[in-house]
Homo-oligomer: A and B are copies of this chain.
Amino acid sequence: MTSDTEIMLAARWHPPSYDIRIEKVPVPQIEHPDDAVLKVTLAGLCGSDLHIYRGQQPITKIHVTGHEFIGEVIKLGSNYGTDPVQSTIGRPNLYTSLNVGDKVVAPFTVNCGECHVCRVGYTGRCPSGALFGSPRLDGGQAQYVRVPKAGGTLYNLSSTASWSHTLTATSDVETLLKNISDSSLLLLSDILPTGVFAATQLLAHPKMQPMLTGRAWPSSLNPPGSALDSGTGLLTPEDRILTIAIIGLGPVGVCASVALLDALSQRSLPYRIVAIDLNESRREKLKRVYEAIGVDGKSLNGKFVVQGLEEAKETVANWTGGIGCTGVLEVVGNNSALTAAYELVRPFGVITSVGVHAPKNVPFTGEDLYNKNISFDFGRCPARAMFPMAFELLVKRQDVFGQVGTESGLIDRIVSIEQASEMYRAFDQGEVGKVLFDPWK
């Protein structure tokens, strides 16, 4: 427990750029009846932290960094449990069921859980949301963090009510959590749901359905046997092979790759995947991840290669007779990646972009987009809504997500928060992979 006068260690960004300092600041307190305060167990360093770090945004306010963290609830505002009848009717169930001591993960943004946007599931764009680790809201690279709208925002790992039916049917809380490392749970805060979101969006797109259903467009959109269903039989088995490129093999790209392979395997869909990065060590990492997944007896029903961009273009041309990819996942967030995605995708193809993009015009004319019948899905993962799917994948793929510092593991190292400044520098320079901070080490 903390008091108003207590202080904590926190990593804070200072203007104008490249200046992260470890400082002693007051422990955050409850400011609103919907708030929670967490003791942070682990906090992650994420590629998108670098946008602020590098001074690429018009920001001057000193603030605690970090939007990836897991922790334990140590304080709750007065709207939790004190007067359930008065305060929690019609509210998200965490308002009645969240308790001090619960193990929780926060998505990278606050979401109220109660508005139209949240009810629909687009929690990443809740109108009362805010990004952790931004001038508007202190982040989690610290010993403690305040979580606004905690009853809508947090995912309670201590309660099976948060889990998918598959997990609750096979596990109890204690058994399950005992076998899952905290470092892998940290991945739930951003990169794993973002990867699952990317793969899920791509496979759900209507332009992918002819390949998935074996029925030509637009029959593929109508129920089988309905008036406008032309039936199967028009497409050959070859026609149905999904040709997918993944551009950007940083941690989110690895998560997207694993999520995509898992979805393809669950649905027994044939595929040809080319995963692309300029950085050889990232390519090597993904090869090790694929080997780790491939040897466990799952039915992986296709080709998977990891290449540089120019080689990948040739590969796709050879695979498809010059037609191009059915879909492309863009996990980088710059115009070179968007251009590569455009060049790789076929007419009537789908580009799913989860990269964080800059205020710079996209490199396309209207004619480019018209002439290729391009479909684009841009933007941020609604992480809170994706947690059940992401958590299920996390449990299933502990062989990848549960490891630290191994060749096929996603997390490079866990270090003290005192090393934050040096780790930002090294991460920005590409010298280290995914780094987590243990604020109590």
Q: Enumerate A164-202 residues with CB–CB distance to B below 8 Å.
A: 164-166, 197, 200-201
Q: Is the beta-carbon distance between A357 and B366 smaller than 8 angstroms?
A: yes
Segment from A23-31, A204-212, A288-296, A403-411 that makes contact with B: A204-212
Chain B residues in 8 Å Cβ range of A347: 117, 122, 125, 379
Q: Enumerate A107-144 residues with CB–CB distance to B below 8 Å.
A: 116-117, 119-122, 124-125, 127
Partner of A385, one of B218, B323, B379: B218
Min CB distance A52 to B, Å, is 14
Distance in angstroms between the alpha carbons of A374 and B219 in the assembled complex:
26
Q: Enumerate A59-87 residues with CB–CB distance to B below 8 Å.
A: none
Partner of A380, one of B117, B206, B323, B370: B370
Chain B residues in 8 Å Cβ range of A125: 347-348, 372-373
A360 at the interface (CB under 8 A from B): yes
A15 at the interface (CB under 8 A from B): no
Q: Is the beta-carbon distance between B373 and A120 smaller than 8 angstroms?
A: no
Min CB distance A178 to B, Å, is 22
Q: Enumerate A338-376 residues with CB–CB distance to B below 8 Å.
A: 338, 346-348, 353, 355-376
Q: Is the beta-carbon distance between A369 and B373 smaller than 8 angstroms?
A: no
Chain B residues in 8 Å Cβ range of A335: 366
Q: Is the beta-carbon distance between A377 and B380 smaller than 8 angstroms?
A: no
What is the 8 Å Cβ interface bit string for chain A, positions 388-421, against chain B (1 contact, 0 not)? 1100100000000000000000000000000000
Chain B residues in 8 Å Cβ range of A127: 323
A269 at the interface (CB under 8 A from B): no
Q: Is the beta-carbon distance between A119 and B236 smaller than 8 angstroms?
A: yes
A317 at the interface (CB under 8 A from B): no
Q: Is the beta-carbon distance between A379 and B386 smaller than 8 angstroms?
A: no
Segment from A145-153, A227-235, A424-432 that makes contact with B: A227-235
Partner of A239, one of B119, B206, B368: B119
CB contact under 8 A between A228 and B370, given known A116-B323, A216-B121? no
Chain B residues in 8 Å Cβ range of A433: none
Q: Is the beta-carbon distance between B357 and A365 smaller than 8 angstroms?
A: yes
A333 at the interface (CB under 8 A from B): yes
Min CB distance A160 to B, Å, is 13
A439 at the interface (CB under 8 A from B): no
A382 at the interface (CB under 8 A from B): yes
Q: Is the beta-carbon distance between A235 and B362 smaller than 8 angstroms?
A: no
Distance in angstroms between the alpha carbons of A389 and B220 in the assembled complex:
13
Q: Is the beta-carbon distance between A374 and B376 smaller than 8 angstroms?
A: yes
Q: Is the beta-carbon distance between B121 and A210 smaller than 8 angstroms?
A: yes
Q: Is the beta-carbon distance between B206 and A201 smaller than 8 angstroms?
A: yes
Query: A371: nearest residue on chain B (CB-CB)?
Result: B379
Min CB distance A358 to B, Å, is 6
A217 at the interface (CB under 8 A from B): yes
A440 at the interface (CB under 8 A from B): no
Q: Is the beta-carbon distance between B204 and A373 smaller than 8 angstroms?
A: no
Query: A124: nearest residue on chain B (CB-CB)?
Result: B373
Q: Is the beta-carbon distance between B228 and A388 smaller than 8 angstroms?
A: yes
A22 at the interface (CB under 8 A from B): no
A221 at the interface (CB under 8 A from B): yes
Chain B residues in 8 Å Cβ range of A359: 365-368
22 contacts between A and B (CB under 8 A): A116-B238, A119-B234, A121-B210, A121-B217, A121-B219, A122-B217, A125-B348, A204-B209, A218-B385, A228-B389, A348-B382, A353-B370, A355-B366, A356-B370, A357-B370, A360-B365, A361-B364, A362-B364, A366-B378, A370-B378, A370-B380, A375-B376
Knowing that A121-B210, A121-B216, A372-B378 are A-B contacts, what are 13 other residue pairs whose CB atoms are under 8 Å apart, sorted by A's residue number? A116-B239, A119-B236, A120-B239, A122-B347, A127-B323, A165-B228, A165-B229, A204-B209, A206-B206, A360-B366, A370-B378, A373-B379, A374-B376
